[in-house]
Structure 1
Amino acid sequence: MGKEQTLPLHAALGCIFLLVFSTLFPSPSSAAALTHAEARFLMRRQLRALSENGDDLPDDYETKINVPFKFPNSRLRKAYIALQAWKKVFYSDPSNFTGNWVGPNVCDYEALDDPNVTVVSGVDLNHQDIAGYLPVELGLLSDIALFHVNSNRFCGIIPKSFSKLTLLYELDLSNNRFVGAFPKVVIEMKALKYLDIRFNDFEGALPPELFNRAFDALILNNNKFESTIPDTIGNAKASLLVLANNKFSGCIPHTIGNTAGTLDEIMFKGNELGGCIPPEMGLLQNVTVLDVSKNSLVGPIPKFFSNYSKVEALDISGNKFTGFVPEEICKLPTLNSFDFSNNYFKGESKVCNPEARKDVEFDDRKNCLPSRPNQRSSKECFPMLSSSVDCEKARCGQSSEGHKHDNKHKHKPPSKDKDDNKQSPVKPTLSPPKAPTTPSSQPVKPSSPPPKPPTLPPPTQSPPPLPPSPMYPPPPPPPPVPSPPPPVFSPPPPVQSPPPKTPSPSASPPSINLPPNLGFQYSSPPPPVFPGY
């Protein structure tokens, strides 16, 4: 490529090393927030473009585009067209990050499948506070292995043309303002292993086929997903599964036991799940983080919890559990924190007392424990303690007496307290590409207010982090964008995506050898350190 028009290497259009640039020179946190009117304007712009051109790309699309430059190969030409089309639909670029996106020298980087060809192999615009949408032309970036746009203000939907990104290994769209149903196009990306779409406005039900894909990490928290959790969750191969802070209802599927051996961290926190914890969860012997807090789960604490010999963080707070908290759980060898507050336990082992051990953080507040401070009143405790739930007989959504629970109207899950905007004690940890190891930090314990005294038998429902067995770092500053879900403008996710692996040769993705630094030197934005995850 000619030197007279060569761009600085660190500023090359969408090159994989953009993460280094965005990490060293982050955009100011004081950037103006995107208003609801502006977000709607951007979405309308995208929808108009999609209605005119379709949401996919014909195979020969790039040949019809006139480009005033010559390129060493057609793949760089396609990348140039894609990135220029993207820059054209940016509504705001506060730090002028794309100011030098000019000229033909898109990138000087080896192709993943041919060391003699230069291509754009990755896009990372994390934390640049850029507002805009994703045009269909991005489907021309068929050589990229990672696409990271964490913590920006992108709106609209994910175009179907993303299915052409056949080498894409990591997709991080977290902390933006994407909308619509779950983007099914990601299921068509055969090489995709790491998916993070947390903190957006996706809604509706999860497609059952999502869990049939061999993802290493699925991070879907803080959206507006609802309905029940598909039974196909038992087919999941992910080590990290985060469904927290959505609107899932019903029971935790019994098929969850089929994930034994692969699932290490699971978060169901902050949903509308009910019923008893299924006995099949006892098969998850490798679990290090389990968070089912702030749901409407009922029954006694499962005995199989005492078999979780590797668990580090266990949070069952904010449910309707009753009975006794046994010694075996509180003496688990790797336990760092156990939160069983805001339930209706009437007894606890002495070793579960918060003053009993200094090496483990226990929280027993807002229960029905005699001689313990900060407990519920007898008026709150009596209705729950006078009725019993037999988890061996009760069906999902029913108590042992056969009273059907209406999760939406009769028994609402405990109200989410203000502490939900703080860091949760249970945090998931991803193996990010940045470093092969994941840091750990002490959990910060939020206190949750007691749920309103129920007037009917206990409901039946339940949920779960990084962040994380390893816990997340301190919570980030207040969100720059006051939009739903609170657009938390947080630091790069505390945990990062797993290092890209060599996709197995198949009909879809060609056999490739990833550069040794991909995923370590240029890691995916660990999902933003969000309140609660």
Structure 2
Amino acid sequence: MNPSATTSRRRRPSLLLFTAFTIALVALQIPNVAAGENDVDFKGIVRDARNLTFENPSLRRAYYALQSWKHAIFSDPFNFTANWTGADVCSYGGVFCAPSPSNASVRVVAGIDLNHGDIAGYLPDELGLLTDLALFHINSNRFCGVVPDTFKKLKVLFELDLSNNRFVGGFPKVVLSLPSLKFLDLRFNDFEGGVPTQIFDKDLDALFLNDNRFRFGIPANLGNSPVSVLVLANNNLGGCIPASIGKMGKTLNELILMNDNLTGCLPPQIGMLKELTVFDVSFNNLQGPLPAEISRMRSLEQLDVAHNRLTGVVPATVCQLPRLENFTYSFNYFTGEAPQCSRFGGGSVADGKQNCIPSKSNQRSAKECASDDAKPYD
């Protein structure tokens, strides 16, 4: 899920010259970009380009976008953008060109990868000029502010990774308008508010929203999503796991909902997740028993329900799942476990400490086991 844009062989420049009138016209066709609404001197960038020759108009527009971005960068300690000069944008560090899908004889900027650059700055509106962009990866930097609305012009964008930066504001709804998007990674930022229902109606393959400040529950249409990997961990979502989750049985491979302040019971519909290999709902406030339907999750390899308020008996059918390698159910209020759970063999690991199982060591005190937290869920 991390394909790189390939660089095609260099082609002879077309020597196509733009007149000053044409350049000015291009600027006028970009609303809210050249109008002085941010700190980027876009008119100066267009003026500087008059003496440069570009292979094609697409690479000229890419020059405008990348030079605008360079002006919006405050710190580049590893000099990722040091060579962002001149007309040959395909030689810029972290910029990848490829033949245009509509015309193989024309090179376009198809990918940007500035991962782990520790770069500080913001995303200017002019990045909307990169209309041929399929991959945009800028994880592990210090970009701040919001995601520009001009990203709606990136109609062929396939992967968008903004993780581990300092973006703020609500969920960047501009991504909902990207028709080709398959991979979205917004983790480790400061996005807040609700997760929009529309994100689960998009044809995504992977969705990472963890380690932000999202709230107001998991939308009820969760099950509409065709993703294979879904990570919502370390937010403050609250509420229950929607019953619609059962509709994801044919596609979902990994689901991580740890530390999301979730409440209620584990819905029995999780038993329909036949392809799920990783299921982590630890560090929440889930109550009630483990649903018997977990025994249908025959592909499970990692199961973590630790640090909740679960009660009842851990059944043999869970511990006997054929591919289960690691089962963690510690720090709950289980009162018993099947013998098969204590005889995990081979390389498998079961961790059931700090429960209320009398026959086991490292369990909760009698006072804790008699508390309200240990009472069965109504």
- TM over 0.5, shorter chain: yes
Answer yes or no: is 1:53 the counterpart of 2:42: no
RMSD over aligned Cα atoms: 2.3
Structure-to-structure mapping, 1:128-139, within 5 angstroms? 128-139=117-128
Q: Deviations over 1:315-340 (max 9, x none)?
A: 11110001111111111111111000
Greater relative contact order structure (CA < 8 Å, 6+ sep)? 1
How far is the alpha carbon of 1:51 from its aligned partner?
9.7
Q: Offset of 1:52 from its aligned partner? A: 4.8
Question: Which 5+ residue runs of structure 1 have no aligned equivalent?
Answer: 1-14, 19-47, 56-60, 390-399, 401-533
2:198 to 178, 203, 209: 209
Asked if 1:285 is matched to 2:274, the reply is yes
3-state SS in 2 of match to 1:238: coil
Q: Deviations over 1:364-393 (max 9, x none)?
A: 11111113222110000012487322xxxx
Q: What's the CA shift for 1:250?
A: 1.0
Please give the secondary structure, in 2, of the residue aligned with 1:324.
strand
Query: How far apart are residue 238 of structure 1 and its match?
Result: 0.6
1:84 deviation in Å? Answer: 0.6
TM-superposed CA distance for 1:80, in Å, is 0.5
Match in the other structure for 1:490: none
Which of 47, 51, 65 is the equivalent residue of 1:82?
65
Match for residue 367 of structure 2 among 379, 386, 389: 379
Q: What is the aligned residue count?
A: 341
1:331 maps to 320
1:359 counterpart = 2:347: yes
Separation in 1, partners of 2:134, 2:177: 15
Do structure 1's residue 73 and structure 2's residue 56 form an aligned pair? yes
Residue identity in the other structure for 2:136: F
Instruction: Mark the CA change 1:325 to 1:124 in structure 2 (over 3 Å): closer, same or farther.
Output: same
TM-score by length of structure 1 reads 0.61
| Contact 1:131–1:154 (8 Å) recurs in 2 | yes
Q: Equivalent residue for 1:151?
A: 140
**Distance of 1:257 and 1:271 partners within structure 2:** 20
* SS of residue matched to 1:115: strand
Rate the CA distance shift 1:51–1:196 in 2: closer, same or farther, 3 A: farther
* 8 Å Cα contact 1:318/1:341 also seen in 2: yes
Q: Do the aligned partners of 1:322 and 1:385 also contact (CA within 8 Å) in 2?
A: no
1:22-171 matches, within 5 Å, as 52-53=36-37, 65-66=46-47, 67=49, 68-107=51-90, 109-171=98-160
Q: Normalization by structure 2: what TM-score?
A: 0.85
5+ unaligned residues in a row in structure 2: which ranges?
Answer: 8-31, 91-96
- Map 1:203-242 to 2 at 5 A: 203-242=192-231
Change beyond 3 A, Cα 1:54–1:89: closer
C-alpha spacing 1:180/1:50, structure 2 compared with 1 (3 Å): farther
Please give the residue correspondences for 1:383-422 in structure 2 after superposition, counting only pairs within 5 Å: 383-384=371-372, 387-389=375-377, 400=378
Pair 1:237–1:352, CA change in 2 (3 A)? same
Compute the displacement of 1:288 (Å). Answer: 1.0
The residue type paired with residue 46 of structure 2 is I
Residues 337 and 360, structure 1, Cα contact 8 Å, conserved in 2:
yes
* Moved beyond 6 Å, runs of 4+: 48-51
Which of these two proteins has the greater Rg computed from alpha carbons? 2
Which amino acid in structure 2 is aligned with residue 85 of structure 1?
S
Q: For each residue in 1:403-440, what CA deviation from the matched residue of structure 2 results, as whole angstroms up to 9, or x when unmatched?
A: xxxxxxxxxxxxxxxxxxxxxxxxxxxxxxxxxxxxxx
* 3-state DSSP of counterpart to 1:347: strand
2:264 to 270, 275, 292: 275
How many Å separate the matches in 1 of 2:162 and 2:192?
15
- Looking at structure 2, the residues matched to 356 and 54 of structure 1 have their Cα atoms a distance apart, in angstroms, of 61
Distance in 2 (alpha carbons) for counterparts of 1:309 and 1:93 = 48
- Equivalent position of 1:370 in the other structure: 358
Q: Residue 362 of structure 1 aligns to which amino acid in structure 2?
A: A
Report the CA distance between 1:255 and its aligned residue.
Answer: 1.3
Write the distance in 2 (CA, Å) between the matches of 1:361 and 1:50: 60
1:295 matches 2:284: yes
- Cα distance in 1 for residues equivalent to 2:166 and 2:284: 26
Deviation of 1:17 after TM superposition, in Å, equals 5.9
Deviations 1:160-213 (A, max 9, x none): 000111110000011111111000000000000000011111000011111111
